[in-house]
Each structure stands twice: as C-alpha cells, then as structure tokens.
C-alpha cells in the first residue's frame, strides 16, 4: 500500500538527480518522428547496391530492428521495480525509455518498408544473436518480476544498458558510420541513426548511474557486474565476426578486426567507469553525476 506521495511533500522532486536531468534532456532532444524522415534517396541508393552490399545493410538493420523490439518488450519489469521502490525521478526518465525504444523499432521497420525490401529479415539473426536477444536479455529482465534484489537489478541493467546498449548498439553505430556514412549513401537511415545515438546515450547514462548507485549502496554488487560482463564479452566478439570469418572486411570496406576492437574498447570503458563507484558515498555519486550533466 502506498504510504505517501513524494511530489506533494515539502522536498518535492529532486531536480538535482541525474535521472531527472536526463528526463529534461529527453523532452528537449528526444522529440523526433520517424515519419518525418525522407527515405527517397535511400530507396535509390539501395536499388543501386550490389547483392553483397544489400545483404550487409539488411543484416545490420535486422540486428537493430530485432534488438529494439526486444528491449521494447522486455523493459517493463525494470520500470516496475524502480516504481515499487518509490524512486519517482528515476521512473520519470524510464517512461521515456519505453517510448524511445518503441520509436526506434518503428524507425528501422519504416526504413525497411521504404526501401521496398520484402524479405524475412530474421534470416540474418544467427545463433549468437538469438542467444542474446531470445534468451539472455529477456531472462535477465523478467527475473525482476519475482526477484527485486540488488543483484537481480544489477544483472538486468548490466545486460540491457551496459552490454546491449553500451557495447552492441554502440558498435553497430560505429559499423554504420564506417560503412554507409563514409560511402555517402542511405542519408535517411543515417539521419535516424543519429537521433538513435542521442537517445541511447541518455539510456546508457542512466544505466551507468543505476549501477553506480547499486555499487555505492551494496559494494559486493560490483563483483556481480564484473562476472556478468565477463560472461557477455565473448558474445560481442562472436557477433561482430561477420558472416564469413575468413573475410577481413565487409562489402563497404569496414574491417572486421576494427569493429571487434571497438566493441572491446566499449567494454573496457563501461567497466572502468563503474569501478570508480567503489568506495564512493551516495553524496559523492550525486555530485559527480550532476557535474557530468552540466558538462
């Protein structure tokens, strides 16, 4: 039973908290509409591609499309736990998560439809991809329906925010920019991906904050996060090894080794940031994250 309403109390909303600041940023920078993007040049560019280039482009789109749908479907348990804990400012920002993940799903499906592609894109989802998005992600998030412990919450955010968004999605953006963007093709797709990167940056910032908060409150949680990331790390390398492991570069000249190195760098960066939370007080964390928002 609810005991009291936070927003009616004298303290009101904690506007200094990072999640509240991210909520404000989401209102200012997240209001883009996939329906407003012009895909007419993309249609021409796609028609002029070789079959290999088409498959590469569709493979990357299929990866994002399935991934965005997965997080849209799997996100609710995380929101529910934060709501039950009465963390209103965090829940306010998390409401934008669900809206944005749904919009990202719409964007990639719209891109496929606009270029006139009718194939079943699930053919591009290999075994490693299915292991991540059909098993690991839903299992970690749905665990929160029956287990609201700090360990379960940390594992869910590690899989979702640190790995799926912070490593896989960021690496996927890198591959898009190194391929299509440098080739000067598919401007509508690349415009939308620019919006996505901005949205996902806010999501990753919150996930980092959430995990840092959990580490401050429960120091042993850091070990849970390290263990889970160690389990996930090899999957990133396998996912980005390309369709043909013998090939050194993609159809658009994107070197497989460079993509894999980018993924490893993202992993290292995420863990380095989280390690700094060890030994911090909540006051120090709030001060640090507020400074990051100001920057």
- Please state, in angstroms and rounded to a whole number, the distance separating the CA atoms of residues 80 and 182: 41
| Other Cβ atoms within 10 Å of 139 Cβ, number | 13
Q: Is residue 9 situated within a structural domain?
A: no
- Give me the half-sphere count of Cα atoms (radius 13 Å) on the Cβ side of residue 234: 4
Q: Is residue 275 situated within a structural domain?
A: yes
pTM of the model: 0.90
State phi, psi for 277 to the nearest 5 degrees: -75, -15
Measuring CA to CA, how many Å separate 24 from each of 42, 47, 202, 213, 239?
33, 41, 11, 20, 35
Q: What pLDDT, on the 0 to 100 scale, is given for residue 196?
A: 96
SS3 93: helix
- Please state, in angstroms and rounded to a whole number, the distance separating the CA atoms of residues 225 and 158: 6
Taking only the tens of pLDDT, the chain with its 295 residues reads 556 777 767 677 888 889 999 999 999 998 999 999 999 999 999 999 999 999 999 999 999 999 999 999 999 999 999 999 999 999 999 999 999 999 999 999 999 999 999 999 999 999 999 999 999 999 999 999 999 999 999 999 999 999 999 999 999 999 999 999 899 999 999 999 999 999 999 999 999 999 999 999 999 999 999 999 999 999 998 988 764 556 677 777 788 888 889 888 988 888 888 887 777 777 777 776 655 554 4
Q: What pLDDT, on the 0 to 100 scale, is given for residue 272?
A: 86
Residue 200, domain extent: 15-294
Q: What pLDDT, on the 0 to 100 scale, is given for residue 295?
A: 44
In a 10 Å sphere around its CB, with 0-12 CB exposed, 13-18 middle and 19+ buried, how is residue 229 labelled?
buried
**CATH number, domain at 49?**
1.10.620.20
Q: What pLDDT, on the 0 to 100 scale, is given for residue 271?
A: 86
Work out how many domains the chain is built from and give that number: 1
Q: Is residue 2 situated within a structural domain?
A: no
Q: Is residue 188 situated within a structural domain?
A: yes
Q: What pLDDT, on the 0 to 100 scale, is given for residue 106?
A: 98
Q: Is residue 277 situated within a structural domain?
A: yes
Alpha-helical (H) ranges within 163-255 are: 170-176, 182-183, 187-217, 221-239
Q: Is residue 58 situated within a structural domain?
A: yes
Q: What pLDDT, on the 0 to 100 scale, is given for residue 250?
A: 76
**Contact 260/172 with Cβ under 8 angstroms?**
no
- Please state, in angstroms and rounded to a whole number, the distance separating the CA atoms of residues 22 and 37: 25
SS3 146: coil
- Please state, in angstroms and rounded to a whole number, the distance separating the CA atoms of residues 262 and 252: 17
């Amino acid at each position: 039973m609810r005991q009291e309403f936070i927003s009616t109390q004298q303290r009101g909303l904690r506007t200094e908290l990072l999640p509240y600041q991210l909520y404000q940023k989401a209102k200012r920078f997240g209001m883009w509409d996939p329906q407003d993007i012009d895909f007419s040049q993309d249609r021409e560019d796609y028609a002029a591609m070789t079959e290999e280039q088409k498959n590469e482009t569709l493979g990357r789109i299929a990866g994002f499309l399935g991934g965005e749908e997965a997080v849209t479907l799997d996100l609710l348990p995380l929101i529910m736990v934060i709501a039950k804990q009465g963390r209103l400012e965090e829940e306010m920002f998390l409401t934008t998560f669900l809206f944005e993940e749904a919009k990202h799903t719409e964007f990639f499906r719209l891109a496929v439809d606009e270029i006139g592609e009718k194939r079943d894109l699930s053919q591009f989802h290999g075994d490693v991809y299915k292991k991540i998005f059909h098993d690991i992600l839903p299992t970690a998030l749905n665990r929160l329906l029956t287990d609201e412990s700090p360990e379960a919450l940390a594992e869910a955010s590690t899989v979702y925010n640190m790995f799926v968004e912070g490593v896989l999605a960021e690496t996927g953006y890198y591959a898009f920019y190194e391929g299509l963007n440098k080739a000067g093709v598919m401007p509508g797709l690349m415009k939308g991906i620019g919006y996505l990167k901005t949205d996902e940056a806010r999501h990753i910032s919150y996930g980092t904050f959430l995990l840092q908060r959990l580490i401050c409150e429960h120091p042993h949680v850091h070990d849970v996060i390290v263990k889970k990331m160690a389990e996930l790390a090899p999957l990133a390398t396998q996912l980005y090894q390309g369709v043909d492991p013998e090939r050194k570069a993609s159809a658009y000249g994107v070197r497989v080794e460079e993509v894999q190195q980018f993924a490893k760098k993202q992993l290292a960066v995420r863990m380095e940031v989280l390690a700094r939370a060890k030994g911090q007080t909540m006051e120090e964390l709030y001060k640090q994250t507020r400074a990051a928002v100001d920057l």
